[in-house]
Structure 1
């Protein structure tokens, strides 16, 4: 698979690029590692065990709307700004985000930064697995950066809620693309969250995020086009990305952006909200 370079229009930077720029005063590296409930893995613990030198950890369960019953929903702009300031992430910095799987939870944090107005945020191609495979340096323990000031410019249009998704499906004004496994989408496999029914929204399309990633890296552009075409999605119409809880929906976002189809919005509550809402559920 070809290397990804730090071109202005690419969402990725390569491990070579990061190694060459590591330690630059205007660069902050963010470890966004997070794992599904039930995996027995902790992104926060793994971060403390090893991370890219100087990286801070972004915990999507902590930097979230803690009052919401839904998992890792976006916080309000003030709370996000306070959290970023405490992490030493301020205005004007270049941000590079990675995770310990390669390409799983990092896109969610990449998208979150963009939603709150960060203008120069990239994903590390191949993430920590590629960095480690190349025997690049790591460190352990927490990282404390100097406090900074982050002035959020929250773009509400990038975030879809339950009613917006319901209206879009009912009116046909946008398509919903769901990143969950086929069996969960069809209602043939239980959801990982107890008590939540499986199935999908009426009219939604299915593109499991695993079909877009190989060895922790996004597929080449032409292969992405083929996978997206096979889902039945109409690229001439607006798209809202969705998944189980708003994490892997961001992988779809990155993939669609790579083929020139930036989504309209990401459904933050995703299936965790829809499945429990009493809205129509389709199986099969």
Structure 2
């Protein structure tokens, strides 16, 4: 299964016994939109709602950090998601949160996972079928094994500064990267990780919410000064939109990419960590 599937492909596959569809919609703190209410008002037939705030390490002071393997497996099972399934993830969020859930699936060992190109906006604009109400499903059996090579922590990122061995790609808006204006979460410094390159997640998408072509994606990285010959770490505000450049790199067959799960929510809150400002 291609990691990026079309709306036409998904509609034709609906009802396949091994296919599971996941609604990964989530929003920034303070956004008046309600992901649960929107899911219940309209979702792709058979889709289950994946709540990144709850399927997380809820004991961590940082937002939606990866849960442990046991909790992830338990939540996947409760959603009726199991081993051997093919997963298609979509969202209806300006944060393109399907990329975060796709990454979570991959780091916990899922082999067949894809993102729906264009997400819910394209699906609805094309008049494709949808359901209302809550999800109904049977219990599944899911085995989770965390691939730690896909995750970066604070210590790992700190060790990269000044070494020139990796590229650090920041998916936040350019103004936040430059340290202009405040962060949406309180208590965070402004700026970016020293040596990071700015590549806002919004630049990866066309006006109709579809992903840009692979040629355009490669050009984005090149214009940002990212050396594809080096391993990459992606970062953002809280580890969600960092999955966008990671997925784009995956589409370009680059797999030596880690996501910094704590991202600026962790880095910007620690006064002892180095910070840079400016473009």
Cα distance between partner residues in 1 of 2:232 and 2:11: 35
Q: 1:194 & 1:40 partners in 2: Cα distance?
A: 18
- The answer for unaligned runs of 5 or more in structure 2 is none
* Aligned pairs for 1:132-281 within 5 A: 132-214=124-206, 215-278=208-271, 279-281=273-275
The 2-side partners of 1:222 and 1:132 are apart by: 27
Residue-by-residue CA offset, 1:140-186 (whole Å, 9 max, x unaligned): 11112110110112101101010011112243332210001111001
Structure 1 length-normalised TM: 0.94
Any runs of at least 4 consecutive aligned residues in structure 1 with deviations exceeding 4 A, and if so which?
none
SS at 2:138 equivalent = coil
> 2: distance between equivalents of 1:192 and 1:101?
16
The TM-score with structure 2 as length reference comes to: 0.96
Number of residue equivalences: 276
Residues 113-151 of structure 1: CA distance to partner in whole angstroms, max 9, x if unpaired?
000001111111111111101101111111121101101
Counterpart selection for 2:116 from 100, 108, 124: 124
Structure 2 residue aligned with 1:89, among 73, 78, 81? 81
* 3-state DSSP of counterpart to 1:46: helix
1:258 deviates by 1.8
Gaps of 5+ in 1: 1-7
Residues 246, 257 of structure 2: 8 Å contact kept: no
Greater shift after overlay, 88-97 or 168-177? Answer: 168-177
- The answer as to 2:96 corresponding to 1:99 is no
- Secondary structure at 2:76 match in 1: helix
Per-residue CA deviations over 1:197-222 (Å, capped at 9, x if unaligned) read: 21001111110011111221111111
Q: CA deviation at 1:226?
A: 1.5
* RMSD value, Cα: 1.2
- Tell me, in whole angstroms, the C-alpha distance in 1 between the residues paired with 2:85 and 2:138: 13
